[in-house]
Amino acid sequence: MVEPMISRIWSVNEWGPLQEIILGSPAGALLPSMADVSQRNFDRLSAAEAALTVCGPMPAQVIEETHEDLDGLESTLHQFGVVVHRAEGLNGTDPVHSPHWVAEAESAINIRDITLIHGDLVIDAPTPTRGRQFETFAVRDLLSQTAQGPQWLVAPPRPRLLDASYDLDRPRGLNEVEPLFDAANCVRLGRDVIIDINNTANQMGAQWLQRVLDWHHGAGVVRVHPVSLSPDHIDVIVVPLCEGTALYNPKYVDPQQLPACLQGWNLVPAPPMVPQVYLTGSPKASNWIGLNVLVINGEERTVIVEERQTNLLRLLERLGFHPIPVRWRHGRSWGGAFHCVTLDVHRLGTL
C-alpha cells in the first residue's frame, strides 16, 4: 500500500480542525550519554537522578509498547477523518558529527520538537541539543513530496553548538552566543507566537524567529512574544484548547504575567497529573507530561488526552470539551506525549 502524499502544508495555531498529521517513530531509539554538555543542559538532572542515568538502546519493552500505542493513536485519529503519515525511524547507533564535536542521536519519536510550521513555512529549528541536529531527516521525504510544496527554511546560520553556549551553573538559560531554540518552545496563536526562553531557547533565537516571520508573512503581521516560564518546552506549560481558552501549568505560570495576547482568554489552571512510571533509570519528563494533549478540533472541542489522566479528563468535561482518552504508557520514558510525538502539517485556520 502506497502512503498518500501530504496534500498541503498549512498550520497557524494549535486548535484548528486537524486534517493531516505526522506521527513520530520510536525505531532505533537511544538514551544518550550525559557526557554531552548539550544533553546535560537539556536534562538538568539532580545528582540522585544523574546517578541513575541509563545510556544505550531504549528498552525493548518501551519501543514495542510505543509502537502499539502509536497504532492506537492513529486509529483514533482516523475515526475523526484525520489523514495520518508516519515518520521514518533513526539509527541511534550512528553518531552525529560536527567539526567541533561528536554526539549520539536520540530518536525520531518527539517529531514536533524541532520542526516549526507557521502557515506554509517549515522551519528546521536551531536546536541546542547536539544529537538532534539531523532529526528532521525523519520527515524530510514526507514534507518534500507534499502536493502543494512548502517553503522550507533551515535556520541560518546552522549553530556550531560550542561549549560556550552552555552554562550549567545557571539554574536556567542558554548563553547568547548564537540563535538557538526548539520548535517546542513555541506556542502558535495565529498572529501571535509565544516563545519560552530557557534551557532550550535564547533571546537571539527569539529575535531570529521574529525576523523570519516578518520576512515570510510581512513585517508586523506575526508578533513573537518572549517569556521565561519553564526549564524547557512550553507544551506542558501553556496549552491552548480552542480560540479563547487555554490550560496553564500552575507550577510555573502566573497567568497575570502571560503576554497581552492571552489576557482576554479563559485561562484555566491544570489539575494535578496522575503519576506515571518510567523505564529509563531517570525520567525524561516530569508527571506534567500528562498535560501534553493534542487538540483534534477546537471548534468541536475534541481533545486527545492520556487515558490515565482522570483529573484532566473530568476538568475538560466540566469546561464543555469532549476529551478522547487514548493509551500512552511511556510519556516519562520518552519525554513526550501526544503533542510532542505528532506534527500537525495541515490544520484549517487563518491568521
Positions marked catalytic: 182, 233, 340
3-state secondary structure of 291: helix
The H or E element containing residue 194 is: strand 192-196
Residue 117 in contact with residue 153, Cβ under 8 Å? no
- The H or E element that residue 117 is part of is strand 115-118
**Which triple of cell numbers denotes residue 101?**
564535536
From the DSSP assignment, how many helices (H) and strands (E) are in the chain?
A: 7, 19
The alpha-carbon radius of gyration of the chain (Å, integer) is 19
Helices (H), 90-149: 137-144
Q: Helix, strand, coil shares of the chain as percentages rounded to 5?
A: 25, 25, 50
Task: List C-alpha distances in Å: 296 to 9, 107, 215.
Answer: 17, 25, 30
Residues 134, 124: Cα–Cα separation, whole Å? 9
CB 174 within 8 A of CB 180: yes
